[in-house]
Amino acid sequence: MAPHNTRTHITTHILWIFSSLLFLSTSLPTEPSPSAPVDPTTACHVTPDPTFCRSILPPGGSHSLYSYGRFSLAESLSSAYRILTFIDRYLSDNTASQLSPTAIGALRDCRLLSALNVNFLTSTISALNNSTDALVDTTTETVQTLLSALLTNHQTCCDGLQAAAPSWSAQTGIAAPMFNSSRLYSVSLALFTKAWNPECRGGRYRGGFTPPRVRNPPPGRRHGRTLLFHELKRRLGRRLLQAGESTGVVLIADMVTVSQDGSENYATIGAAVAAAPTNLDGSTGYYLIYVVAGVYQEYVSIPSNKRYLMMVGDGINQTVITGNRSVGDRWTTFSSATFAVLGRGFVGVGMTIRNTAGATKGQAAALRNGADLSTFYSCSIEGYQDTLYVHSMRQFFRECDVYGTIDFIFGNAAVVFQNCNIYARLPLWGQGNTITAQARSDPNQNTGTSMQGCRFVAAPELAAAQGLVRTFLGRPWQAYSRTVIMQSFMDKLIDPRGWTPWSGNFGLSTLYYAEYKNNGPGSGTSGRVTWPGYHDIISSGDASNFTASSFILGDNWLPQTGVAYSSGLL
């Protein structure tokens, strides 16, 4: 199937992938102990680009992988600052006005992503400098998540600039520094991964949704907050509160209400988010924003400093957040989202998030999520092409509905979907559907898409087309694309081949696609693709690596959300 998506790969990135594949095809010496002194050549053998690695490590002498890792991270931080400074300078330059609105939008995306990268690297270096070489598993996993997102942010910036302003990239000379930064970030991730290798974790089942409870309201506010909470309980209903008695409570530090009629604290969601406290650490509970039923025509952004927010609506099709930005109307894919999240620990419950641009406008995201340890429960995410942008970091979706056509669950997060309904819609004439487009671009990224206990079915308008549209489980947006679908129901809409290429043979030997104990008329694997990276039969042990407890360390953070989850295999 010919690609329908207009996202493109920059030539330099393809060349880098080629060199990585060439490196991986050769035999390597035994990897050194992370604490043993080794020369730079030996240290660089653990990276995808040994030649570039040797060019940035200090020549001569011997150091441990720990030391080389810290050195490369310091170099990466300097590079991230240079990129951010360049973008800032150009956005403030009068010549920026000569660019198209889409190009300006791509630069602004890069500005946001580059600032995040500076923060990610600063946090990583601080974590390593304030500890011994041996890190606890959770810290190791967090740092690897940050460094994986570092590469993803940078790739998003590169792709956006290449699509929107290719001539500008060439004229300003930004292409070469961007390419070198990409290689540097990859080296840093590889050295970190080899030196601080995380161990495997097991898991167990947890279930139910725990009702929020106000914890120790300040004097003088207890009565009003208690009344608000009882109203919240009444509106949420028993379906969401069924496990509160057995699993404890969700701690709520404070709570506000949004209602369009002006009768509550705020009339818009954006105003409530803007007034929320910054940099909460979650220890005293969530800041809860309750959104009364209504159709909210606004673009909601949860910035990175708005942490541990919980947003609860009155239910799917009751609390509706809607917008219509699209690439067809000169927005970037990244900035087209109706609802965008960056703040760590976000929880969204009982909402519909829509992009109504339609199938004719191309990429148009409803939800873009780049928030670490974020959760969506009982939400509906609706669009056509590129509906749900699971951009980066660790994410969890439970009992959600996702509607779309082309690549409608895409991105490079480490994300687990459980008990979700995946609805393929009717695309434009001549197009087919691809459900996932996972974007893992580096073999050391801890990212991928895992779908467990889900239902893959046709939306009513597609069902009425009577099999005239081919629907595939996914295709590789980047070379190391990783998607696992297990213990799920696949209706007859799924094409017997299951998966489709992005372009030619790109990524077919380096991707990891797997299916495990699925059922339904579309789940048979006898007619599936025969790519080197596709696995039609995997063991329960391999499948367990993609469960909530193992893949996103869910046992460490999902219980505090109150959202139901299965820790291991069903």
Report the 10 Å Cβ neighbour count for 269: 24
Q: Residue 280 to residues 253, 266, 562: CA-CA distances in angstroms?
A: 10, 21, 18
Looking at residue 71, its amino acid is F
Does the active-site annotation cover 491? Answer: no
For 226-258, give one letter per residue: b (16+ CB within 10 A) or e: eebbeebbebbeeebbbbbeebeebbbbbbbbb
The sign of the CA dihedral 187, 388, 324, 277 is: negative
Q: Report d(CA 420, CA 355) in Å as an integer.
A: 19
- Look up residue 334 and give its two tokens: 């990244």
Cross-sheet strand order for the sheet of 414-418: 212-214, 250-258, 286-291, 309-313, 347-349, 374-377, 394-398, 414-418, 448-452, 482-486, 512-516, 534-535
Q: Which residues of 203-223 are buried (b: 16+ CB within 10 A; e: fewer)?
A: beebebbbbbebeebeeeeee
Q: In what order do the strands lie in the sheet with 367-369?
A: 300-302, 339-341, 367-369, 388-390, 406-411, 433-438, 471-474
Q: In Å, what is the CA distance from 360 to each residue of 326, 327, 329, 430, 523? A: 10, 10, 11, 13, 30
Asked whether the beta carbons of 172 and 213 are under 8 A apart, the reply is: no
Distance CA 118, CA 29 (A): 34
Closest Cα partner for 414 from 144, 89, 187, 232? Answer: 144
438 vs 391: CA distance, rounded Å: 10
Annotated catalytic residue, options 407, 442, 495, 555 = 407
d(CA 230, CA 236): 10
Residue 416: which H helix or E strand, with range? Answer: strand 414-418
Q: Is there a contact between 515 and 523 (Cβ–Cβ < 8 Å)?
A: yes
User: Using CA atoms, how far apart are residues 325 and 348, in angstroms rounded to an integer?
Assistant: 21
The SS3 call for residue 4 is: coil
Long-range contact pairs involving 118-125 (C-beta distance under 8 Å, separation at least 24)? 118/77, 118/80, 118/81, 118/84, 119/304, 120/146, 120/147, 120/149, 120/150, 120/153, 121/73, 121/76, 121/77, 121/80, 121/146, 121/150, 122/77, 124/73, 124/192, 125/70, 125/73, 125/74, 125/77
Residues designated as active site = 407
